[in-house]
Amino acid sequence: MYGWIWRRLPGNTGTRLLTAAVLVIVVGVVLWYAVFPILEPAVTLDEVTVRT
């Protein structure tokens, strides 16, 4: 899969590295600001039960 993406990126190796880095950053930002806030109510990480 990653090879397929790498072959589809335009330019030489330097351009591909820069494009891949920008794509990773964009995906991270979209996840952080759009997807995770939507999922937060469904995933309750603050409610921890410890049994002794």
What is the pLDDT at residue 7? 92
What is the pLDDT at residue 43? 82
What is the residue-level pLDDT of the chain in tens, covering all 52 positions?
A: 789 989 999 999 999 999 999 999 999 999 999 999 998 888 877 777 778 7
Distance from the first to the final alpha carbon of the chain: 46
Helix ranges (DSSP H) in the chain: 2-8, 13-30, 36-39
Q: Which pTM value belongs to this model?
A: 0.71
